[in-house]
Structure 1
Amino acid sequence: MASTVQCSAGFATQPPRPGHSCRFQQRQRQGTLVSSARRDGQVRAMAGASMDGRAQQLEAPVAVVTGASRGIGRAIAVALGKAGCKVVVNYARSGTEAEEVCREIEESGGTAIAFSADVSIQSDVESMMREAIATWGALDVLVNNAGITRDALLMRMKRAQWQQVVDVNLTGVYLCAQAAAAVMTKRKKGRIINIASVAGIIGNIGQANYCAAKAGVIGLTKAMAREYGSRNINVNAVAPGWVASDMTAKLSHDIERKALDTIPLGRYGKPEEIAGLVEFLAFHPAASYITGQVLPVDGGLSI
């Protein structure tokens, strides 16, 4: 099931005409239900206070961020939105949280739509990419962040635990990158940032499935960078270490102390620190000659 909800700041100088309020329409697309906010038959996807601002918004980069309703994905979506990107805020189940991300982007003067899609399902992914194109006519940045954990020692790990993690964390990256690259290659430009993990570099007890999937993302990143470099598409990976989250907040003092003792900087990372690097790779001119790289953001954990 895939669905989308529009969030847009609108024009301060162009109030809606009577009888033309924003409404929701629904339509079928290859077996998936999609809904989007439209006005006068057109998607309201503009933000700004002048016609000059509108022209700038028409040229603003379009980004898809998977798993963007919370944690690192949320921080990335907000950072890209504040930087002037039009953002597709992807989520699997957390619709309310995704709409909150859209509102935060909107309040900063940006534009976003929330889109429900399971990245491990090809039809959902294709619907999401089509929606980005239908809404804004372009796709410039893809951030593959969606991921899950199903932890267990390898000797006790069920096949379902292995497959679920690989399907979302690795196959989901493949599906999204393949669909996005089909658009980017035609335009001969684009940037893809895959969120890997330091666990895919150094391993972690009880996370064989997660480590294997993230190591796969690293290999996939390098292969994609070679394949798409001639089309002016940069592909890089960011590998976070321990990052402050709802999960780390629930750790006991002893476990937390042991975790922090392994980090040379002696603290957890912040989602905003990951988002800052992603923003650099997505937009900054200095990042235009960086491709095929894996950039750890782990406080020195992988040293």
Structure 2
Amino acid sequence: MKLDGNVALITGGTSGIGEACAGLFAEEGAQVAVVGSSDMSKAESVVARIKAAGGHAKPYVGDLSKVSEVSKVVAAVKSDFGSINILVNSAGVFYPTPVGETSEVDYDRLMDINMKGLFFCVQEVAPIMIAQGGGRIINLSSVAGVMALGGYSAYCSAKAGVNFMTRAFAQELAPKGIRVNAILPGNTATPMNEDIRTDPELRPMYDAMAASTPSGRTYSDAIDMARAALYLASDDSRAMHGALVVLDEGFSLGI
């Protein structure tokens, strides 16, 4: 098993890509800290499924837009497991932010969860990894960080920030034995974007995305992203530092 003996802390672990990572990492031998935002029952459900499949996991919740909550979650995971070898930053939110209609509250929430929380998760976990002799950090970004999406300027900005943060972290932490890389998903079927896939009023948006996807597969599956995360979390990718791995069915090829 690729991750036997490792402890993986996965934020956003109760749904979508984070949940897929939690399940796959456990299958590959990792002990998994499943971190949700507020609903402990969701984290417990994911953990129950992992345990039913023979894996090892524990549930946690915390509002990672607050630095104090980040500190509490990381401290709890370290106390329970004794180490943290892998950090997957998958917590995130996605919604439109039209320039003339977006409130300060909505703007701040998007930035705080997608970028600020990620920064402070790394800040809290990196010293633990350094003391252990190294670790792996995988950030879930988006192709929206490398291409413009009208009406989603705040989201694009946050993910562009994650991309450059990833590369800067990689340069800073590589000498200390920590590999930092990012996955840039394209359109991926998760609960966060279910409305685009099912709401008839949003059909024009779906059709436009389909027309821009060369593979003919408009939406990837969360497990596709989890398999890439597994590669980045394993020794198979030991030469990778600061990579931005695009997985988007070719959606961004036209930019």
Q: Structure 2 residue aligned with 1:130, among 62, 75, 81?
A: 75
Question: TM-score, normalized by length of structure 1?
Answer: 0.78
Per the alignment, residue 237 of structure 2 pairs with 287
Whole-angstrom distance in 2 between the partners of 1:192 and 1:115: 19
Q: Structure 2 residue aligned with 1:298, among 229, 248, 251?
A: 248
Q: CA deviation at 1:292?
A: 0.4
Per the alignment, residue 8 of structure 1 pairs with none
Q: Structure 1 residue aligned with 2:198, among 243, 250, 253?
A: 250
1:102 equivalent to 2:54? Answer: no
Q: CA deviation at 1:286?
A: 2.2
One-letter amino acid matched to 1:274: M
**Bigger strand fraction:** 1
Q: CA deviation at 1:81?
A: 1.1
**What is the number of equivalent residue pairs in this alignment?**
245
Per the alignment, residue 181 of structure 2 pairs with 236
Whole-angstrom distance in 2 between the partners of 1:251 and 1:242: 16
Taking only the aligned residue pairs, the percentage that are identical comes to 31
Q: CA deviation at 1:145?
A: 0.6
Whole-angstrom distance in 2 between the partners of 1:196 and 1:289: 20
Q: Does the 8 A contact of 2:97 with 2:107 survive in 1? A: no
1:148 equivalent to 2:98? Answer: no
Per the alignment, residue 133 of structure 2 pairs with 188
Q: CA deviation at 1:129?
A: 1.2
For structure 1, the 5+ residue unaligned runs are 1-56
Q: Does the 8 A contact of 1:66 with 1:89 survive in 2? A: yes
One-letter amino acid matched to 2:7: V
Report SS of the residue matched to 1:142: strand
Q: CA deviation at 1:96?
A: 2.3
Q: Does the 8 A contact of 2:10 with 2:88 survive in 1? A: yes
Whole-angstrom distance in 1 between the partners of 2:145 and 2:99: 15
Per the alignment, residue 37 of structure 2 pairs with 92
Whole-angstrom distance in 1 between the partners of 2:240 and 2:187: 25
* CA deviation map 1:17-68 (0-9, x unaligned): xxxxxxxxxxxxxxxxxxxxxxxxxxxxxxxxxxxxxxxx9x7200110011
Whole-angstrom distance in 1 between the partners of 2:205 and 2:67: 38
Whole-angstrom distance in 2 between the partners of 1:290 and 1:62: 20
Q: Does the 8 A contact of 1:120 with 1:172 survive in 2? A: yes
Whole-angstrom distance in 2 between the partners of 1:113 and 1:286: 26
Report SS of the residue matched to 1:68: coil
One-letter amino acid matched to 1:237: A
Cα separation, partners in 2 of 1:264 and 1:94, compared to 1, 3 Å: farther
Q: Which has the higher contact order (CA 8 A, sep 6+)?
A: 2
Per the alignment, residue 228 of structure 2 pairs with 277
1:64 equivalent to 2:12? Answer: no
**Bigger helix fraction:** 2
Larger Rg: 1
Tell me which stretches of 4 or more aligned residues in structure 1 moved more than 3 Å.
none
Q: CA deviation at 1:245?
A: 2.4
Whole-angstrom distance in 2 between the partners of 1:277 and 1:94: 27
Q: Structure 2 residue aligned with 1:158, among 103, 109, 115?
A: 103
Whole-angstrom distance in 2 between the partners of 1:226 and 1:295: 17
Q: CA deviation at 1:187?
A: 1.4
Worse overlay, 102-111 or 229-238: 102-111
Question: TM-score, normalized by length of structure 2?
Answer: 0.92
Report SS of the residue matched to 1:302: helix
Please tell me the root mean square deviation across aligned C-alpha atoms, in Å: 1.4
For structure 2, the 5+ residue unaligned runs are none
